[in-house]
Chain A
Amino acid sequence: MNPVLLAIIKAAVVVFFNLNLVALMVYLERKLVGRIQHRVGPNRAGPFGLLQPMADIVKLILKEDVTPRGADRWIYGLAPILAATLAFIGYAPIPFGPPGWQVADINVGLLYMLMISSLTVYGVMLGGWASNSKYSLLGALRSSAQMISYELGLAGAVVAVVMVSGTLDLRSIVDDFQAQGGLGWLPGWNIASPLLWPSFIVFSICAYAELNRVPFDLPEAEGELGAGFHTEYSSGRFAMFFMAEYAGLATMSALAVTLYFGGWSGLGWFDLDRLPAWLGWYSTIAPTVIFFTKQMVFMVGAIWVRATLPRMRYDQLMNLGWKVLIPVATANLVALALFEAASQRWF
Chain B
Amino acid sequence: MAWPHVTCFGISSALAITAAVMVVTRRNAVHAALWLAVALVSTGVLYLTLSAQFLAVLQVIIYAGAIVVLFLFVVMLLNVNEDQATDRRRWLAVVGLALALVWGAGTALLLLAGPPAGTGLVVRTPGDVALRGTAEELARAVFEHHALAFELVSLILLAAMAGVIALARRTPRGAEEIPGKRGSP
The answer to whether A and B assemble together is: yes
State the A residues within 8 Å of B (CB).
Answer: 4, 72, 75, 106-108, 111-112, 114-115, 118-119, 121-122, 125-126, 129, 137, 140-141, 144-145, 148, 151, 168, 314-315, 318-319
B94 on the interface (CB 8 Å rule)?
Answer: no
In Å, the complex CA distance between A121 and B76 comes to 14
A144-B73 contact in complex given A108-B135, A168-B135, C-beta closer than 8 Å: yes
Which 7 pairs, one residue from A and one from B, show the smallest C-beta to C-beta distance? A118-B65, A111-B57, A115-B61, A115-B60, A115-B57, A108-B57, A108-B53
Q: Are the C-beta atoms of A118 and B53 separated by less than 8 Å?
A: no
A112 contacts across to B, CB distance below 8 A? 57
Chain B: which residue is nearest A118 at the CB level? B65
A141-B73 contact given A106-B53, A114-B61, CB 8 Å threshold: yes
Residue of A nearest to B37 (CB): A122
For the complex, count residues of B whose C-beta is within 8 A of A.
25
A107, A115, A145 — which one has the most chain B CB atoms within 10 A of its CB?
A115
B142-173 vs A: 1/0 string, CB under 8 Å?
00000000000000000000000000000000
Q: How far is the CA of A125 from the CA of B64 in the complex (A)?
A: 13
Residues of B within 8 A of A125 (CB): 69, 72-73, 76
Task: Determine whether the beta carbon of A314 is less than 8 Å from that of B184.
Answer: yes
**Are the CB atoms of B54 and A144 closer together than 8 Å?**
no
Q: Is the CB of A122 within 8 A of B69?
A: yes
Closest-CB distance, B63 to chain A (whole angstroms): 10
Docked CA distance A154–B72 (Å): 22
Q: Whole-angstrom distance from the CB of B183 to the nearest CB of chain A? A: 6
Instruction: Give the Cβ gap from A205 to chain B, nearest Cβ, in Å.
Output: 20
**B134: A residues at CB distance < 8 A:** 107
Residues of B at the A interface (CB closer than 8 Å) are 4, 30-31, 34, 37, 53-54, 57-58, 60-61, 64-66, 69-70, 72-73, 76-77, 134-135, 183-185
- Given A108-B54, A168-B135: A148 in contact with B184 (beta carbons within 8 A): no
In the complex, the answer to whether B58 meets A111 with C-beta atoms within 8 Å is yes
| A318 and B66 alpha carbons, distance in the complex (Å) | 18
Taking a contact as CB atoms closer than 8 A, the residue among A111, A141, A151 that contacts B54 in the complex is A111
**Also in contact, A107 and B53, with CB within 8 A (given A129-B76, A315-B183, A318-B185):** yes
- In the assembled complex, the Cα of A71 lies from the Cα of B165 at a distance in Å of 36
Residue among B4, B73, B134 having the largest count of chain A Cβ atoms under 10 Å: B73
A129–B65 Cα gap in the complex (Å)? Answer: 17
Contact status B60-A140, CB under 8 Å: no
Minimum Cβ distance to chain B for residue A87 (Å): 15
Interface Cβ pair total, 8 Å cutoff: 67
B76 cross-chain contacts in A, Cβ below 8 A: 125, 129, 137, 140-141
Residue of B nearest to A142 (CB): B185
In the bound complex, CA of A118 to CA of B66 (Å): 7
Cβ of A75 and Cβ of B69 under 8 Å apart? no
Q: Assess the A141–B69 pair: CB atoms within 8 A.
A: no
The residue in chain A whose Cβ has the minimal distance to the Cβ of B75 is A129
Bound-state Cα–Cα, A314 to B73, Å: 17
Known: A129-B76, A144-B73, A315-B183. A75 touches B65 (CB 8 A): no
Q: List 13 A-B contacts (CB under 8 A).
A: A4-B4, A108-B53, A108-B57, A111-B57, A115-B65, A121-B65, A122-B69, A125-B76, A126-B34, A129-B30, A140-B76, A314-B184, A319-B183
Q: In the complex the two chains form, what is the Cα distance from A61 to B20 in whole Å?
A: 37
Cβ-closest chain A residue relative to B77:
A141
Which residue of chain A lies nearest to B70 when distances are taken between CB atoms in the complex?
A: A148
Measured between beta carbons, the chain B residues less than 8 angstroms from A141 are 73, 76-77
CB distance from B119 to the nearest CB of A (A): 31
Q: Are the C-beta atoms of A148 and B66 separated by less than 8 Å?
A: yes
A121 in contact with B69 (CB, 8 Å): yes
Point out the residues of chain A lying under 8 angstroms from B183, CB to CB: 315, 318-319
Q: Chain B's nearest CB lies how many Å from the CB of A188?
A: 24
Cα separation A84 to B11 with both chains bound (whole Å): 24
A106, A111, A125 interface centre (most CB from chain B within 10 Å): A111
Q: Is the CB of B135 within 8 A of A145?
A: no
- Assess the B65–A119 pair: CB atoms within 8 A: yes
CB distance from A86 to the nearest CB of B (A): 11
How far does the alpha carbon of A201 sit from the alpha carbon of B70 in the complex, in Å?
Answer: 27
Q: Nearest B residue to A129 by beta-carbon distance?
A: B76
| B44 closest partner in A (C-beta) | A115
| Cβ–Cβ < 8 Å partners of B72 in chain A | 125-126, 129, 144
Judging by beta carbons under 8 Å apart, are A145 and B185 in contact?
Answer: yes
Closest A-chain residue to B41, C-beta based?
A: A119
Q: Give the residues in chain A near B30, CB-CB below 8 Å.
A: 72, 75, 129
Taken together as a complex, chains A and B put the C-alpha atoms of A126 and B64 apart, in Å, by: 14
Contacts of A129 in B (CB 8 A): 30, 72, 76
A73 CB → nearest B CB, Å: 12
Task: Report Cα–Cα, A315/B65, bound state, in Å.
Answer: 24
Neighbouring B residues of A106 by C-beta, 8 Å: 53
